[in-house]
């Protein structure tokens, strides 16, 4: 049914027997509604079904912006324009996302799980805007974004792992294990509580 959204509403056609064929291809004309079969009626109704599906997914605010559209294709194009914007708006979004990536740092008091969620959100946003970083660029950025107390671990990761093959979730899994170890050592070692 995706073709209903990407193309114009389906037309029910028949061969025009009154017109001459051009280069062997028959000329097609729209059938009158009285000539439609049950299957043709279903096909003709697909645009209504698609519009209904799209309407049901929208809140009142967004619905108000597309309610004048007459086909599923028009609705989809309007939603795309509203959500993604034009070329300039996309470029601005990309620049902001790149700045978020460049400025990403683990905040004081932030857990690694929270940083993972926030950083992964930035990566997802960049990918959706068409910007792709290599595994090594992402891994190095994460390791540089960590506080100084992580230096020992990040150096060990750099020396022991192939950063070009290191996936983001694997990196965070290693770092979370280290965070867990640090937490246990801190609780057990009375000298760290002073």
Give the tens place of pLDDT for each residue, 112-166: 999 999 999 999 999 988 899 999 999 999 999 999 989 999 999 999 999 999 9
Quick one: 54 and 114 in the same domain?
no
* 141 φ/ψ angles, rounded to the nearest 5 degrees: -65, -45
Q: Are residues 29 and 98 in the same domain?
A: no
Q: What is the pTM of this model?
A: 0.57
Over residues 9-67, the pLDDT tens digits come to 667 777 777 765 556 677 777 788 888 788 878 877 788 888 888 989 999 999 999 98
Asked whether residue 106 falls in the same domain as residue 178, the answer is yes
Out of 67, 84, 101, pick the residue that ends a domain.
84
The verdict on 57 and 127 lying in the same domain is no
Inter-residue contact 1 to 49 (CB < 8 Å)? yes
Q: Is the dihedral of CA 169, 171, 177, 180 positive or negative?
A: negative
The count of structural domains within the chain is 2
Report the pLDDT value the prediction gives residue 45, as an integer from 0 to 100.
77
Domain residue limits at 97: 87-193
Among 43, 66, 84, where does a domain finish? 84
Show contacts of 101-104: CB within 8 Å, 24+ apart: 101/126, 101/133, 101/141, 104/141, 104/145
- Mean pLDDT (whole number) for 68-74: 88
């Amino acid at each position: 049914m995706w073709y209903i959204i990407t193309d114009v509403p389906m037309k029910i056609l028949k061969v025009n027997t009154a017109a001459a064929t051009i280069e062997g291809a028959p000329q097609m004309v729209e059938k009158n509604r009285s000539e439609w079969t049950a299957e043709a009626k279903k096909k003709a109704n697909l645009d209504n079904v698609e519009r209904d599906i799209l309407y049901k997914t929208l809140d009142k605010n967004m619905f108000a912006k597309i309610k004048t559209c007459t086909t599923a294709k028009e609705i989809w194009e309007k939603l795309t324009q509203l959500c993604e914007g034009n070329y300039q708006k996309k470029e601005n979004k990309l620049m902001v996302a790149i700045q978020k990536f460049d400025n990403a740092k683990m905040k004081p008091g932030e857990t690694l799980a929270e940083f993972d969620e926030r950083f992964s959100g930035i990566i997802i946003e960049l990918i959706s805007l068409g910007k792709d970083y290599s595994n090594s660029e992402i891994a190095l950025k994460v390791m540089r974004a960590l506080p100084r107390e992580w230096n020992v671990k990040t150096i060990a990761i750099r020396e022991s792992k192939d950063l070009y093959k290191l996936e983001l979730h694997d990196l965070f899994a290693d770092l979370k294990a280290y965070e867990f170890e640090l937490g246990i050592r801190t609780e057990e070692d009375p000298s760290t509580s002073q």
